[in-house]
Amino acid sequence: MKVSMRHLGANMIQQMQHPCNECKGTGETINDKDRCPQCKGEKVVQQKKVLEVHVEKGMQNSQKITFPGEADEAPDTITGDIVFVLQQKEHPKFKRKGEDLFVEHTLSLT
């Protein structure tokens, strides 16, 4: 932490604390020669990852599909999960009752 003081007026001084530019408030620094060239000492690397979500037949509305440990990572924290919650969309032709799909159709008998 960096402490700075400034005079506000007669007999008044303001003292402020803010994170230093070197460690950004973490209290540790990494020498330039020891820094990883990929993360540049930040301890994390920005990376895009494509997750493939498989929705199996018969899955229900509000059912969850979880990818454990795939959430954003940060130093000294436990990585969370990514959770997809299925939301059923109404269809103009098909109606769902439990795991079954129904369609109403008029047939002409000739």
Strands 2-9 and 64-67, how do they pair? unpaired
pLDDT surpasses 90 at 67: yes
Burial annotation 73-110 (CB, 10 A radius, 16+ → b, else e): eeeeeeeeeeeeeeeeeeeeeeeeeeeeeeeeeeeeee
Q: Within 13 A of 80's CA, how many CA atoms are on the CB side?
A: 5
The rounded mean pLDDT for the chain is 87
Confidence of residue 17 (pLDDT cuts 50, 70, 90): confident
51 has pLDDT over 90: yes
How confident is the model over 75-98, as pLDDT tens digits? 888 999 999 999 999 999 999 888
- The domain locations on the chain are 1-47, 51-110
Q: What is the pLDDT of residue 22?
A: 76
Length of the chain as a residue count: 110
Tell me, what's the pLDDT at 29? 78
Span between the terminal Cα atoms of the chain, in Å? 88
Residue 81 backbone dihedrals phi, psi, to 5 degrees: -105, 155
